[in-house]
Amino acid sequence: MESLLLDKKLKHITNLILEKKEEFSKQKKYEKKDIQQQLEPWRVHLIQIYADSVSTNDTKNFEVLEEWGREVANLLVVLQLPLDVALEEISYYRNLIGEIIKEEAKAETFTFDAFYQVISRFNEVVDKAVHWVSKSYMTDFANKIKSARYAIDELSIPVVRITKEIGVIPLVGDLDTNRAQILMENALQHGSDYKLNWLIIDLYAVPIIDTMVADQIFKVIGALRLLGIQVVLSGIRAEIAQTMVNLGLDLADITTFSSLHQAVEHVNQAD
């Protein structure tokens, strides 16, 4: 009997919170109205989850909360807002709804055990909200940074078509494993799409040529030759030439030039 009475009181608190969820969702203000408008729907969703946690101890609440955390994190990343925004929101509505629970518990003369049970369950939901939004935010943010870096790397390794059948890849900066993979992808993709006969890889702005870099370049050359594309290396400075010799690299089968214009002139004559 006491259990049924408590359930009824808890359901009353849930309904009381839900009746005010639209009002509550508009209470916390931001200077930018567009951000305010985009935050309100997931505020309503959060308040709904908080309200349900008062009267139900269902694992579905946590499943819904996990999905909510992913949605919020994605929104923050899209809006370029810091994680602090979501954490402040979670804390704000925790305090707001926690006050309602406290006042209703007083009015309904909850026992200490009953109040502790309700508030502990509510706090667990809030802690899960912090956990899921933080975890999802960091995952989304890391993925966005990774995608941005890939896009930058891809743009930094362009295939420039200078004639109908001749292309140039002007490499700039260090060639690590990641950029070497992009070099391979861009060279093969654009070489095939453009139906190139020749591709000049210019190394003038590559500061260091080591075994790894040389190996990657040779792999690209080999792959391009399988497509019927001839490769010429240009920008071979004195220090690069010396390094290649010291590494014991065999360039006998590869045409090289010290400058790009020499390479272009050679290819034009050969084409």
- The tens-digit pLDDT sequence of the chain (271 residues) is 457 777 888 888 888 888 888 888 888 777 777 777 788 888 888 888 888 888 877 666 677 778 888 888 888 877 777 888 888 888 888 898 889 889 988 888 888 888 888 888 888 888 888 888 888 888 887 777 777 666 666 566 888 898 889 999 998 888 777 788 888 888 999 999 999 999 999 988 888 877 788 888 888 999 999 999 999 999 888 887 787 777 777 777 888 898 899 999 989 887 6
Return the percentage of the chain with pLDDT > 70, whole number: 94
125 touches 49 (CB < 8 A): yes
- Kindly report the pTM of this predicted structure: 0.56
Q: Where are the beta strands (DSSP E) in 64-206?
A: 160-161, 166-172, 198-205
- The tens digit of pLDDT for each residue in 96-145 reads 888 988 998 888 888 888 888 888 888 888 888 888 888 888 888 777 77
What pLDDT score does 271 carry?
66
